[in-house]
Amino acid sequence: MATRPYRLEFPGATPDGFLVRNNSWPSLERAIEEARYALGWVLKSDGSPGNDADVAVITNRDTGYRWILRRGSATVEFQTPEVLAEQVEGDHLDIYLTVEEAEALASAAERAEFPDKRNAAIVRQAAGQIRVLAGQIREARRHAKTNVRHQASLRREF
């Protein structure tokens, strides 16, 4: 067990080394107090926030539990690792691979063995989607090449 298990972080904020800095605390209460202090204490002369920290995340290193505080809100959101995993399941990724890279990744995933039936089903589904997309791209390329007129000219008349 860590003596300072509560890790306080400010994702996406510019560290100032004073209030907005990643640090660890011995108690949850102290970490929440420090987060609230950083999110709402310092104001510029025009009344705007003194730093760009909008969110503070406190993570217990022993349990993985998280507490999230947002600027302007007194609510402390709570997440367990399972809640976080459920949220991530619904998120989508935009990735850019060549057709060959995608097909190689699908092949490697299909050859892998998974003890969990659910993970195996997800991998099969993703590999199938990759194969369909790769096939559609190859077909579109093949179709585009057959419609090219080789006698076409790029010269322009002035």
Whether 44 and 98 share a structural domain? no
Q: Which residue has the higher pLDDT, 153 or 35?
A: 35
Which residue range forms the structural domain that includes residue 128?
92-146
What's the burial of 38, exposed, middle or buried (CB within 10 Å: 0-12/13-18/19+)? buried
Contact residues for 119 (Cβ-Cβ < 8 A; gap 6+): none
Q: Is residue 153 part of a domain?
A: no
Radius of gyration of the chain (CA): 26
Whether 51 and 17 share a structural domain? yes
Q: What is the pLDDT of residue 56?
A: 94
Whether 52 and 112 share a structural domain? no
Whether 26 and 78 share a structural domain? yes
Q: Is the pLDDT of residue 69 over 90?
A: yes
DSSP 51-77: S---EEEEEETTT--EEEEETT---EE
Distance CA(76)–CA(67), nearest Å, equals 6
Q: Is residue 31 part of a domain?
A: yes
Q: Is the pLDDT of residue 71 over 70?
A: yes
Q: What is the pLDDT of residues 109-153, one digit of tens each?
A: 889 888 888 888 888 888 888 888 888 888 888 877 665 555 555
Q: Is residue 40 part of a domain?
A: yes
Q: What is the pTM of this model?
A: 0.54
Whether 103 and 63 share a structural domain? no
Question: Which of 66-70, 72-76, 120-124 is predicted most confidently?
Answer: 66-70
* Average pLDDT for 30-43: 87
Q: Which 3 state secondary structure label does DSSP give 6?
A: strand
Phi, psi of 78 (to 5 degrees): -120, 135
